[in-house]
């Protein structure tokens, strides 16, 4: 009887460490699923949106009607590397804006 009692903790400890390893692997798997889920729910769509916006800004041509981030409507008169010159308003005043400030291109181009 005394021997059985002395051996019981040893067997219990062996079983406990095996279940600890299994629960550790299960927790790691759950964390991996959460990280992959965040990638597909948050990161991937954001990168797609950024790529689409960059393409929109690079495809602006002279004569296009655009809307800036500030809500200014105008027609592109000249294009430089990082900036555009647009005319807006009834008096056709010209403004220089940064290329990143383009929010929308209202002109439809046929490819």
pLDDT for res 11: 47
Question: What's the pLDDT tens digit per position in 90-108?
Answer: 999 999 999 999 999 998 8
Decide which of 13 and 54 is more confident: 54
Question: What's the pLDDT tens digit per position in 1-24?
Answer: 445 544 445 444 445 566 788 888
CA distance 77 to 59: 14
Is-contact 73 89, C-beta < 8 A?
A: no
pTM of the complete model: 0.63
CA distance 12 to 77: 81
């Amino acid at each position: 009887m005394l021997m059985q009692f002395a051996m019981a903790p040893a067997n219990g400890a062996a079983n406990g460490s095996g279940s600890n390893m299994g629960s550790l692997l299960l927790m790691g798997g759950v964390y991996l699923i959460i990280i992959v889920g965040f990638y597909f729910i948050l990161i991937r769509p954001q990168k797609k949106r950024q790529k689409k916006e960059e393409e929109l800004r690079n495809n602006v041509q002279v004569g296009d009607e655009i809307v800036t981030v500030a809500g200014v409507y105008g027609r592109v008169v000249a294009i430089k590397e990082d900036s555009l010159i647009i005319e807006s308003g009834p008096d056709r005043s010209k403004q220089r804006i940064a290329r990143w400030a383009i929010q929308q291109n209202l002109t439809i181009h046929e490819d």
